[in-house]
Amino acid sequence: MSDYQHQPVLLEEVVEALNIQPDGKYLDGTFGRGGHSEAILARLSGKGCLLSLDRDPEAVAAGEEKLGKDPRFSIVHGNYADMERYVREWGVDEGLDGILLDLGVSSPQLDDPDRGFSFMGDGPLDMRMNPLQGVSAKEWLAEAPERELTRVFWEFGEERYARRIARSIVMTRQKQRLETTGQLARLIENTIGRREKNKHPATRCFQAIRIFVNDEMAHLAKGLVEAIEVLRPGGRLVVISFHSLEDRLVKRTIKEAARPGQVRRNIPQHPDLKPVLKAIGKAIKASESELSVNPRARSAVMRIAEKLA
Ligand SMILES: C[S@@+](CC[C@H](N)C(=O)[O-])C[C@H]1O[C@@H](n2cnc3c(N)ncnc32)[C@H](O)[C@@H]1O
């Protein structure tokens, strides 16, 4: 197992937002390296319990090693989009007191070049959070039609040069296979140049490929609906997003669930017409003091909602 560490973002804010009841039942849908899970457990009594999920087998192995001996703790290799099933299997019927989703990738995933998430170190183009499932970035880039490449870069990366980069990938792959993160990063840089001072030109496309390969937006949409379902009245939903696409979906879902009436198209459908959630406060961002020790917290946005009776 790797030694890469992850510094949890907004740690105190998460604990406060969850409004932890010592005897309560909690779900951490994105265990990572367990910084938040550990803080939740520290506030639970012997009667409280925590179920953590992660779709990355390395995160689950780290969780078993770190917290596996605690009888109040369980960890499952699974997707938070299927949390209703995992909560049922866990044996909790009366609803949860709180759910945390700390979205995106962990530092261990980003920092390990073998996972292929980052252009900072050269590694195989993989980018799957669960390497046992689905199609790797390399396989997708080798096969995807130019239009699909363009759409993904535009939709999930908001990359204005999406079309140009897609064209360049298609031209290049006719001559050589795209195998590594370094190769792709150089291709993008050669195609659009360095336009922003502090941002690598491949940043947006790497984000887009990661979101696509892991089907992140669909899982988030389903996960939010299931979260609302498995909370008990008064239970808290806390979600930390790292880019505007995620935050927009979280914000819209909470807003829609907080108003009576029919939900609109393109957002998760909830069968109940009564308001089911109330938003708690406004979006929360990391403080200057946190940013000074953890620059990765810069893009974090936390939203809180409470399930209504
Ligand atoms: C930002 S990290 C979480 C860090 C964690 N809160 C901590 O303190 O260490 C996100 C984690 O969520 C996992 N993940 C992302 N999407 C997931 C999904 N749909 N289901 C389960 N786990 C997911 C990733 O594999 C990663 O380990």
**Would you say the CB of residue 128 lies under 6 angstroms from ligand 1?**
no
Contacts of 291 (CB under 8 A, 6+ apart): 297, 298
pLDDT at 261: 65
Quote the ligand 1 centre to 234 CA distance (angstroms): 25
Q: Determine whether the shortest distance from the Cβ of 54 to ligand 1 is under 6 A.
A: yes
Q: Say what the pLDDT of residue 222 is.
A: 97
Nearest partner of 96 among 25, 45, 18, judged by Cα: 25
And the tokens for 137?
């970035």
Q: What is the largest CA-CA distance in the chain?
A: 62
**Residue in 27, 38, 55, 128 to alter for ligand 1 test, most ligand atoms within 8 A of Cβ:** 55
Q: What is the 3-state secondary structure (H, E, C) of 208-269?
A: HHHHHHCCHHHHHHHHHHHHHHHEEEEEEEEEEECCHHHHHHHHHHHHHHCCCCCCCCCCCC
- Ligand 1 centroid distance, CA of 83 (Å): 13
Q: 96-102 and 25-28 as β-strands: parallel, antiparallel, unpaired?
A: parallel
Q: For the segment 123-155, what is each residue's pLDDT rounded down to a tens digit?
A: 999 999 999 999 999 999 999 999 999 999 999
pLDDT of residue 196: 86
Ligand 1 atom showing the smallest separation from residue 129 Cα = 25
What is the structure's pLDDT at 4? 74
Among 9, 30, 129, say which to mutate for ligand 1: greatest number of ligand atoms within 8 Å of CB.
30
**222 Cβ closer than 6 Å to some ligand 1 atom:** no
Closest Cα to residue 18, out of 61, 60, 48? 48
pLDDT averages per 10-residue partition of the chain, 309 residues: 80 98 98 98 98 98 98 98 97 95 94 90 95 96 98 97 98 96 97 90 97 98 96 98 97 92 56 83 97 94 96
Predicted confidence (pLDDT) per residue in 171-192, tens digit = 999 999 999 999 999 999 999 9
The model carries a pTM of 0.95
Compute the distance from residue 148 Cα to the ligand 1 centre, in Å: 27
Atom of ligand 1 nearest to the CA of 78: 21
Cα 109 to averaged position of ligand 1 atoms, centre (Å): 10
Q: Comparing C-alpha atoms, which of 18, 79, 81 is closest to residue 44?
A: 18
Structure tokens at 146: 């130019």
Please state, in angstroms and rounded to a whole number, the distance separating the CA atoms of residues 68 and 71: 8
Instruction: State both tokens at 22.
Output: 């010592």
Cα–Cα distance between 37 and 54 in angstroms, integer?
12
**33 pocket-lining for ligand 1 (C-beta < 6 Å):** yes
- What pLDDT, on the 0 to 100 scale, is given for residue 259? 86
Nearest CA owner, ligand 1 atom 20: 79
C-alpha 227 to ligand 1 mean position (Å): 15
Confidence (pLDDT) at 64:
98
Tell me the best of 6, 41, 60, 129 to mutate to test the pocket of ligand 1, counting ligand atoms within 8 Å of each CB and taking the most.
129
User: Residues 145, 152: contact at Cβ < 8 Å?
Assistant: no
